[in-house]
Structure formats: structure tokens, C-alpha cells
Chains A and B, each alone.
Chain A
């Protein structure tokens, strides 16, 4: 015995079996009349039609409202405005997390994802409204509940419907559209100003104020050429040495300038850091220059490494180290200057691209 039969029996105060017979009789009546007249309208339920030897059904408005009570009163939203943050979400009386999730949307969002998110939010709003109203419609005559629903989607659906109306009204003026970009641009400007102030402070502390501050790029000790005496240990403590070297110590004129090693001696073996790879040698040669410009002055030779047997990609190696620990140390030291996915590779003679 289906729940519907039991419910009807309860409402008519008759036994279940009798209710089933009564419903069967009503069903037969509806079918016959539909087939005879083509259409039969059953009050509060809907219209049954017999077209093309098929029975169709169009539900009554009250029935439709009952089925769709969770989303009653919702209206279509202008989609692009919603994506661009063109709504005053605070005025929508929506849950806090709704606003946050919109803020978290990436720059490019595909429509399917948006519709799913929107639907989930819709469902959560409807569920909140439903729980707020309580679930005792069944205890009361359903028609009373539904009539109030139909009037202006009051009750459960009033919460979502009003915000939507506000939303549509607020959407056309571009006021909010312009406010968000303005806020973000102010934030960027503020960041730039803070960056400039910090940069200036660092320049004052580390530089000598004479414009000889080429070494400050990336905070890396790229050059200490003005003082050839410093050639012994270029990388560490650039600030202190800079202060002393040019003024105090007379530069030994005959101190030979050590040319930094430009290329990795692959045949010598050891370890290197692989910073990138390309499928052709021509492609990898295009990026060698950029790495050499920055890293060779720091003492890291840069070379193209040929693919080993069974491999197809040319790699770009940075530095040549006697052991793995040294290579790993350099990997940490160069973090920020080389790609984060760089890794340590043991050099083998067959990696020499010219061999």
C-alpha cells in the first residue's frame, strides 16, 4: 500500500483498502473522460490531455508551487554582473560564505562551475529558510501553507526572493563594478609604496649611496667588481665588505682577475642543477643567455646538457658541484633565482652536447 493511498485514507477517514478502490475509480474516470473529450481538468491537481494516443499531464499551479517550494520566488540573475562582482552582496542578506566564495572565484570561470556553485548556494539558502519555517506543513492543511506561498512566495521562499529583487534592482548601476577594481588598485598602490620604502631602506643600509648598487638585484651578490681584492669570496656578506673595500684597502693592481667559469665541464663529472629542459637544442640555447647573465657572475657556470640514451630533452644545467650536498646547498641558495622545480643531476660524459 503506497503512502499516498494511506494518506488519502486518513484524510477521508476510510480504510486503506477502500481508499485504494476509490482512487482506482477516480483514475478510471479521468482516463475515460480524457480519451473521450481530449482533455479533463481536475481541480487543484491539473489538466490531463489525450493527444496523439498519448496521455499528458500539466500540473496545477498550486501543485507546481508545492513541488518547487524550495526555490519559489527566485528570479534569473544577470550572470556576468555576478561574476564581475557587480552586486552589493552585503545588501543581499545572503550567508557570509556566499560572498566569500564569490571572492574566491578565479579570473576565468566556466559556466558549468558557476551554475553548480550557484545551485549549491541556492539549495543552502532554501534549506535555511525551510528549517527556519519548520517542517510541520504536513500537520496543517497543506493548502493553507501553499496559498500563502502562492500569494507572493512568502513563508519559506520570502528570504531568497527579496534579496533577488534587490539584486536585480542594484545590478544595472555600475557603482559596485567600479568600487571593487578601485579597492584592489588602492591595495596594489599601497603595496608598491611599502615596497619602495623597504627597498629604499635596504639600499641605504647596504649601498654606499654612490649609485654603485647594481648588486642589489634580487638580493643576490652578483658583482663586487669595484674591489678586485674581494674576488676570493664573492658571495657572502656583501654589505660589510662593500663598506670597507673601496675606501680602506688600496687595490692590488697586479691581482689577476679570475674569469668566472662560464660553461660546465661535463667531462669532469660531479653534480649540477637542472633548471629547465626543452625538446630541441635550439630551444634550450635560447634561454642559456638569460641564465648565464645572472648566474655566471655568482660563480655558477651554465651549460646545455645533451639528452642521455633513451631520453629526448635537452637540459639546462647550472653550477658544477663535487657532491650532492653542495648541489643541494646551492639549490637552496639560489631559490628565488631559479625555478622552484629545479633538481640535482649527476653529470655524465655523454651529457656533453658537443661530444
Chain B
């Protein structure tokens, strides 16, 4: 059985997460929790100088920890 280092696992997990997010998918990490993408609409806000600006929409990562078993 080949040995796998912790760094290899972390790197593989990071790559898999990024691949899932690029496709807009959520990702369940066993024992840790669920990463999912939430969409934020563009909004009309007042900036520091008092001007109204239209913020761009964006997709953000939300993480929910899995209850420890």
C-alpha cells in the first residue's frame, strides 16, 4: 500500500474543492462539513464618499461544520 503524506492529501483536497467551486457545485468533506456556494446579488450602496454605487454580484463560500460523531 503506497504511503500518502498529509501534504498530498491537503493539496488533493484543495484542488478538488476548487474544481467543484469552478463548476458551482457544493462539496462535502467527510468528518468536517459541507462547503457550498451562495450567490449575493448586486446591491445599491453608499460608499465612503457618500456616492451611490452598484456593487457587483458575487459568489461566496459558506461552510457548515458537521457535528462531531
Least CB distance, B6 to chain A, in whole angstroms: 7
Q: Are B29 and A3 in contact (CB under 8 A)?
A: no
Chain B positions within 8 Å of A300 at CB level: none
User: Contact between B41 and A142 (Cβ–Cβ < 8 Å)?
Assistant: no
Q: How far is the CA of A79 from the CA of B51 in the complex (A)?
A: 8
- A12-B9, A142-B18 in contact; A114/B44 too (CB < 8 A)? yes
CB of A249, distance to nearest CB on chain B (Å): 71
In the bound complex, residues from chain A placing their C-beta under 8 Å from that of B44 are 79, 111, 114-115
* Pair B41/A115 contact, Cβ less than 8 Å: yes
The answer on a CB contact under 8 Å between A23 and B31 is: yes
Q: Which residue of B lies closest to A116 (CB)?
A: B41
Chain A binding surface SS class: helix
Q: Of B12, B18, B32, B56, which one neighbours A30 at CB under 8 angstroms?
A: B32
Knowing A2-B30, A11-B16, A62-B18 touch, does A77 contact B54 (C-beta < 8 A)? yes
Given contacts A22-B4, A142-B18, contact A63 B61 (CB under 8 A): yes
Q: What residues on A are CB-neighbors of B2 within 8 Å?
A: 13-14
Q: Tell me, yes or no, whether A212 is within 8 Å of chain B by CB.
A: no
**Residue of B with least CB distance to A80:** B52
A76: B residues at CB distance < 8 A: 45, 47, 53-56
Residue A312 lies at the interface, judged by CB distance under 8 Å to chain B: no
Which of A117-125, A223-231, A252-260, A302-310 participates in binding chain B?
A117-125
Interface check A292, CB cutoff 8 A: no
Chain B residues lying within 8 Å of A213, measured Cβ to Cβ, are none
Report the tally of A-B residue pairs with Cβ distances under 8 A: 166
Write out, one digit per residue, whether chain A residues 34-75 have a CB within 8 A of any chain B CB (1) or not (0).
Answer: 000000001111000000000101011011101111110011
User: Quick check: A78 and B52 within 8 Å, CB to CB?
Assistant: yes
| Inter-chain contact B63/A138, CB cutoff 8 Å | no
- Given A23-B29, A45-B14, A78-B52, also A115-B43 (CB < 8 A): yes
**1/0 contact string of A1-31 vs chain B (CB within 8 Å):** 0111101100111100000101110111111
> Using Cβ atoms and an 8 Å threshold, which residues of chain A touch B42?
115, 118-119, 122
A28 cross-chain contacts in B, Cβ below 8 A: 31
Tell whether A143 is near chain B: CB-to-CB under 8 Å.
yes
Task: Determine how close the nearest CB of chain B comes to the CB of A113; give it in whole angstroms.
Answer: 10
CB <8 Å contact, B10 and A119 = no
A77, B30: Cβ atoms closer than 8 Å: no
With A28-B31, A78-B52, A122-B56 given, is the CB distance from A22 to B9 under 8 Å?
yes
CB distance from B13 to the nearest CB of A (A): 6
Asked whether A170 is an interface residue with its Cβ less than 8 Å from the other chain, the reply is no
A173 to B18, CA, bound (A): 41
Of B25, B53, B56, chain A has the most CB atoms within 10 Å of the CB of B56
Q: In the complex, which residues 121-142 of chain A have their Cβ closer than 8 Å to any Cβ of chain B?
A: 122-123, 137-138, 141-142
Interface residues of A (CB under 8 A from B): 2-5, 7-8, 11-14, 20, 22-24, 26-31, 42-45, 55, 57, 59-60, 62-64, 66-71, 74-80, 82, 111, 114-116, 118-119, 122-123, 137-138, 141-143, 145-146, 164
Interchain residue pairs with CB less than 8 A apart (19):
A2-B27, A4-B27, A4-B28, A8-B9, A8-B13, A12-B8, A23-B13, A27-B30, A27-B31, A28-B31, A29-B6, A31-B32, A60-B14, A115-B41, A115-B42, A122-B42, A123-B57, A143-B14, A143-B18
The 7 closest A-B pairs by CB, nearest first: A27-B31, A74-B56, A44-B14, A27-B32, A76-B53, A57-B63, A66-B18
